[in-house]
Amino acid sequence: MKSPHATDYVLGIAGAGAMGQGIAQVAAQGGMRVLLLDAREGAAEAAKATVAGHLRRLAEKGRISAADAEAAAARIEPVATAAALAPCDAVVEAVFEDLEVKRALFAELEAVVGPDCILASNTSSIPIALIARACQRRHRVAGLHFFNPVPLMKLVEVIRAAETGAEVVTALTALGQRMTRVPVVVKDSPGFLVNMGGRAFTTEGLRIAHEGVATPAQIDAIMRDCRGFRMGPFELMDLTGIDVNYPVSQIVWEGYQQDRRLATSANHKAMFDAGLLGRKTGAGWYRYAGAEQIDPPSPDHATDADPAATVSLAEPDEALAAFVESLGLRIAPDDGASPILAAPIGDDATHLALATGADFRRLVCLDLTGDTSRRVTIMTAPGAEPAARDALAAAIAATGRKVTAIQDSPGFVAQRIAAMIANLGCYMAEIGLATPADIETAMRLGLNYPLGPMGLADDLGHSTCLRILERLQAITGDDRYRPTLWLKRRALLGLPIDAGA
């Protein structure tokens, strides 16, 4: 098997659509000869012209030299038949997601390439083992899953099927590196790593909205401002397309035997069935004119109430006391009229009122687990007096912060979503889907998360993360929130969250 670092390495690409073009570009820039095949007449030639245009624009922007752009374009050779891929040292399949089409192509490729040629699929959802069943030399079949747009997305998943040889995994890792991608090695499984790991962010956001706890706009704002995500889950679903993320959610959920931790919600299916797919249809969770939202609803709580001057605490809490003092408020014993504050971890206002004896009508809960410099989430129990909530909201707004007021929910919004992302990352480590380090890398690079799941667990504190999940499970009775043993054991033993088995 030839080293991917060899100067005469030849890479074949079957499929000249957007993904195939992106793979061809980074391979050519990596110095490889690229043979580009597409079943549609003239498609490979058109794809080369498109890639050459991208390379010239990079040169115009000063990111590469004009000479390098022309040299890279010259390394891409359109071919008309699978037989023309015979000289390849590896072939990456990038045709549409149809198992039988892929199997037929792999069987055709195996008949023409050499015995040491690697056959890799760029599939995002079909198990590699199912594709490999069409082949005689299954040890050389693997996945090499790039992300769109390939030239901008640095991550590539190297998918190791049950019969994939170790030398093939090593070679594909080196091949990804030569293309200047960051490879992570992943076990063959539904959704692989990124599509599996990305379920928690969107499905928990969907569940929170489905329960009427907060609106999509409120959830998105909280995750941007308090947790540092570039987009909230609903903005992200509209960007990728609900016709993409809903079916992927179903594939992953079914593939993991309908695990409650991976289930989506009825509101997700309703949008899919209605054809409200996001930006591409002009309407999804938001309305669009091109890429711009039209009249997006405000996530901010507006009030003309007078700011509170005095508050009491439902229970001793140093962090909450410091936050209250930073607002310029006085903390005093309960006077029977002023707001009563609490900053629960995992609890809702209802259960905290019962546990502390605080008057639920004046109890206002604050989430202090994330960044509160721009936005503060507050929460009240059913039957609470709006006056207490509004007086506190006015006091927070007076410091220049935004306020989002949500309905009662164990774990607020950010605690729930962050804990679920962390828990799912721990589950992926627990089942050996990838190493903790690769899980962290994949989630940051593949999904642009500010922190991967292990980083989120560390940021929350893994004991705090465990408590949030345990309280969610206890209050809701939903097995969706059961903590993984990976997280639970490390939290109980005080071990680092990324400590090995």
109: CB partners within 8 A, 6+ apart: 12, 14, 82, 85, 91, 93, 119
Look at the block and give the residue holding tokens 């889950």: 233
What's the rounded Cα separation, in Å, for the pair 175 and 2? 11
Torsion angle defined by CA atoms of residues 203, 231, 196 and 137, in that order, rounded to the nearest 10 degrees: 150
On whether the CB atoms of residues 91 and 141 are closer than 8 A, the answer is no
Q: Is 54 a catalytic residue?
A: no
d(CA 128, CA 135): 11
Contacts of 56 (CB under 8 A, 6+ apart): 66, 69, 73
Full DSSP string of 9-33: -EEEEE--SHHHHHHHHHHHHTT-E
**C-beta atoms surrounding 355 within 10 Å:** 13
Q: What is the DSSP string of 337-359?
A: SS-EEE--SS--HHHHHHHH---
Report phi then psi at 292, rounded to 5.
-95, 135
| Residue of 5, 54, 145, 210 marked catalytic | 145
Half-sphere exposure for 313 (CA within 13 Å, toward CB):
16
Calculate ∠ Cα 472-473-477, nearest 5°: 120
Catalytic residues: 145
